[in-house]
Amino acid sequence: MRVVVAVDEARLLVEGLRREGIDVIAEVAASAPALAAADGMLGADAETMHRALADADALVVAVSRATMSPTVVALCDRAGTRVVPLVEDAAGERIAASCGLETPLKLHTEPWRIAEALSATPQPPTAASHARPQPRVIAVWGPAGAPGRSTVAAELAVELARGGRHVALVDADTHAPSLALTLGLADEGPGFAAACRQAELGGLDARELTRIAVPLGRTGVDVLTGINRPSRWPELSDRRVGAALAACREWADYTVVDVSSSLERDEEIMSDLDGPRRNAATLAALRAADLVVAVVAADPVGVARFLRGHADLRATVGATPVAVVANRLRPGTLGIDARGQVRRTLDRFGGIEDVWFVPQDPRSADAAILASQPIADVAPRSPVTLALRRFVGEAIVPAPAPQRAVKQRRRGVHRSGSGRPAHADADDMPRLGERVV
∠ CA 346-262-213, rounded to 5°? 110
Q: Is 141 helix (H, G, I), strand (E, B) or coil?
A: strand
Model confidence over 361-395: pLDDT tens digits?
A: 999 999 999 999 999 999 999 999 999 999 998 88
pTM of the model: 0.65
Beta bridge partners of 221: 167
At 368 the pLDDT is 95
Question: How many whole angstroms separate alpha carbon 175 and alpha carbon 128?
Answer: 40
Question: What's 396's DSSP letter?
Answer: I
Question: What's 415's DSSP letter?
Answer: B
At 186 the pLDDT is 86
Determine the distance from the C-alpha atom of residue 379 to the mean position of all C-alpha atoms in its chain, rounded to a whole number. Answer: 28
Residue 299's closest CA among 119, 430, 145? 145
Residues in the chain, pLDDT under 70? 39-44, 123-134, 266-275, 398-437
Question: How many whole angstroms separate alpha carbon 328 and alpha carbon 356?
Answer: 11
Task: Count CA within 13 A, CB hemisphere, residue 405.
Answer: 4
Cα radius of gyration rounded to whole Å, the chain: 24
∠ CA 250-254-240, rounded to 5°? 55
- DSSP 3-state helix, strand, coil percentages of the chain (rounded to 5)? 45, 15, 40
Question: How many whole angstroms separate alpha carbon 195 and alpha carbon 209?
Answer: 7
Residue 285's closest CA among 147, 151, 91, 140? 140
Question: Distance of CA 387 to CAs 63, 214, 378, Å?
Answer: 36, 27, 15
Question: How many whole angstroms separate alpha carbon 174 and alpha carbon 144?
Answer: 13
Domains of the chain: 2-130 (3.40.50.2300), 137-396 (3.40.50.300)
Neighbour-count burial of 159, counting CB atoms closer than 10 A to its CB (0-12 exposed, 13-18 middle, 19+ buried): buried
Model confidence over 392-410: pLDDT tens digits?
A: 988 888 655 444 444 444 4
Question: Distance of CA 119 to CAs 52, 112, 285, 364, Å?
Answer: 19, 11, 39, 62
